[in-house]
Structure 1
Amino acid sequence: MASLLSRNEKSPPQGLAVARFDVCNGDADGLCAVRQWRLHDPSAAHLITGLKRDIALLQHVPCEASSQVLVCDLSMQRNRAALDRLLDGGAQVRWFDHHWSGPVPAHERLDAHLDFSSEVCTSLLVDRYLGGRYRAWALVGAYGDELTTVADRLGAASGLDPLHRAVLRRLGLAINYNAYGEDASDVCIAPAELYERLARHASPWNLLRDEPVIHDIEACRRRDFRVAMGIKPHLESAQARVVVLPAAPWSRRVSGFLANALAAVHPEQAQAVLTERRDGHYAVSVRAPRASPQGAHTLCQAFGGSGRTAAAGIDALPFTSLEPFVRALSQTRWGAPC
């Protein structure tokens, strides 16, 4: 059963200057969620974002009593201490997310919109809140988050033909791909700078037409994917596949895209892509079988990770935990869609 949570926000104290902060994941879902909000409310705000696994970002927001903080596509559970600090300091926080949150504080200055079902993402939650006013951007985020069927259905209902939907999907996949890496040297463009490019354009179609960096990201993805497909799986069975990639910039970029691509081709099979880090750990991307997309977050939580029911990850799995993880993946009983 999908979980839906909401808290209402009160108006800011009158007479105080407002400092605004937008805090989001640097993937397509996070950036497109913020883009929608700032088209709705074009107030100047300081953006705080990072790469795909930069989750604990709320700690970088200073505690100011008059601040307004927008959080998109970040786990509340991973940012709970920073959230409590901001609320205690008088900040107002509006939160859109689809990752498991843990307990949600009942606070008058927290406005939380959380939905954990497998057919939503943060961009779609913002789209829902704004009544579909900037739907093209919401679809870019949804396509980037691999909600292709959901995005196609919503796009068709909005009057977009297959060609226009294909362009939005292309853009979403490119923006999402750019978020994967261990540090900024791995990616084509820093997510914060990529958001600046997004913010120059009212529509995604103009972005694709006018920003060559999108084409650079696509070319990089094609090269990386060719190399990744030449890696022999560490494990391959009817139930699961595990691919272990070496420590290299291309492997750190391709991990999530590879996991999604394999999941699409093998819907009955769970996927895990592990990438060697420089510090003696693996970064892990897990995809539940698309035929029964429930349980990825539970598996990853057992190894210190987090995520969503259909797609989750582990930031730092020790090399010595490889085989225990592989056994756990192989033995997981995946659930059916809600």
Structure 2
Amino acid sequence: MNRFDVFNGDADGICALHELRLAEPADTIPVTGAKRDVTLLRRANAQPGDSVTVLDISLDSNRDSLIALLDRGVKIDYFDHHFPGRIPEHALLTTHIDTSPDMCTALIVDRHLQGRYTRWAVIAAYGDNLHRAAHRAATACAMNSFDEQKLRELGEAINYNAYGDSVADLAVDPVEMYRAIQPFADPLEFIASSSVLPDLQARRTEDLELALGSAAVRRLANGTLHILPDAAWARRVRGEFANLVARRDPERAHAVLTLRGDGRYVASVRAPLDCPRGADVLCRKFGGNGRVAAGGIAGLDHARLDEFMAAFSAAFCSQSRGAGGR
């Protein structure tokens, strides 16, 4: 019998898996990729009697693959915080899905494990730009502010590393990232002994500076649109740049678009941090998905850009005004 771990290559997916395997060690086959590679379940070549653990990828985006695996006799445990659509009822499927705006997959796993490895969930939450949830989890661990800052830096660095249109855009392959942290139960020991964090921080800083200096900005009624060029650095920093502008202007929604070689856009969308809802609904209108506070679109036609901007303004209109009145 084979066991597969299918997980998003960002901080949330990697840390959620790490928590689970610290508690339940297993020899598994990893399946992951860049953050936007969300249909990962189709790559799990599981056979009758095998088992698959899925972490931090949308059930809705993987529905056909999920049903095919279940019908084949594969046992599946599913942990996620993205929009799931209708959840199938099947004897071989166990789901742990929570779409609350202050929840990430690693926090769901942390709850499942009753807080055994909460520090890794803190990293994941900071990586997902859930600063309030991350700080609450850190407080529950009685962490001092210096150590919490270290975990925040690691989460943001791992999350930054996941963005790109393919693994070739990334500084570190997500499987290698997971393997690097795998021996460590304490993330502070990993930080002290590895060069991964300073290396990623240096590249992240460089890419953010490029984005801040070259983004084409369109100010909309209820949010801001940032367009970055077709370049590897822009693809890498797209998500982190979206998180940065969201924190700087929390009452407004934000979208960061990068050009693909085929002339289409890849979009990272952030709902207003002061009222984090609506990103997933907007992205699904254009073939994307996500969670209520943040979502993405893998291929937005240039011809639909005006339509997207209009839908973007409409999606967050009442939220932005409500936040501004606080």
Common fold by TM > 0.5:
yes
Aligned to 2:171, the other structure's residue is in SS state: coil
Counterpart-to-counterpart distance in 2, 1:310 and 1:38: 28
- TM-score, normalization: structure 2? 0.95
Aligned to 1:156, the other structure's residue is in SS state: helix
Task: Give the 5 Å matches for 1:1-338.
Answer: 18-237=1-220, 239-332=222-315, 333-335=317-319
Counterpart-to-counterpart distance in 1, 2:27 and 2:298: 32
- Deviations 1:90-136 (CA, angstroms, capped at 9, x unpaired): 11100000000011111111010100110100000000000000111
Counterpart-to-counterpart distance in 1, 2:46 and 2:120: 31
**Equivalent residue letter for 1:242:** L
Aligned to 2:162, the other structure's residue is in SS state: coil
Aligned to 1:229, the other structure's residue is in SS state: helix
Counterpart-to-counterpart distance in 2, 1:227 and 1:319: 23
**Equivalent residue letter for 1:195:** Y
Q: Which deviates further from its counterpart, 270-279 or 59-68?
A: 59-68
Which one has the bigger helix percentage?
2
**Equivalent residue letter for 2:102:** E
Structure 2 residues not aligned, in runs of 5+: none
Whether contact under 8 Å (2:119, 2:141) holds in the other structure is no
- Deviations 1:300-336 (CA, angstroms, capped at 9, x unpaired): 1111111011101100001111121112212223547
Whether contact under 8 Å (2:30, 2:175) holds in the other structure is yes
**Equivalent residue letter for 1:33:** A
Counterpart-to-counterpart distance in 1, 2:168 and 2:46: 30
Going from structure 1 to structure 2, the CA distance change for 1:232 and 1:54 (only over 3 Å counts) comes to: closer
**Equivalent residue letter for 2:81:** H
**Equivalent residue letter for 2:262:** D
Whether contact under 8 Å (1:295, 1:334) holds in the other structure is no
Counterpart-to-counterpart distance in 2, 1:108 and 1:264: 42
Structure 1 residues not aligned, in runs of 5+: 1-17
Whether contact under 8 Å (1:27, 1:52) holds in the other structure is yes
Counterpart-to-counterpart distance in 2, 1:212 and 1:161: 23
Whether contact under 8 Å (2:279, 2:294) holds in the other structure is yes
Aligned to 1:189, the other structure's residue is in SS state: coil
- TM-score, normalization: structure 1? 0.92
Aligned residue pairs total: 320
Percent of pairs identical after alignment? 43
Whether contact under 8 Å (2:79, 2:105) holds in the other structure is yes
Deviation at 1:238, TM superposition (A): 5.6
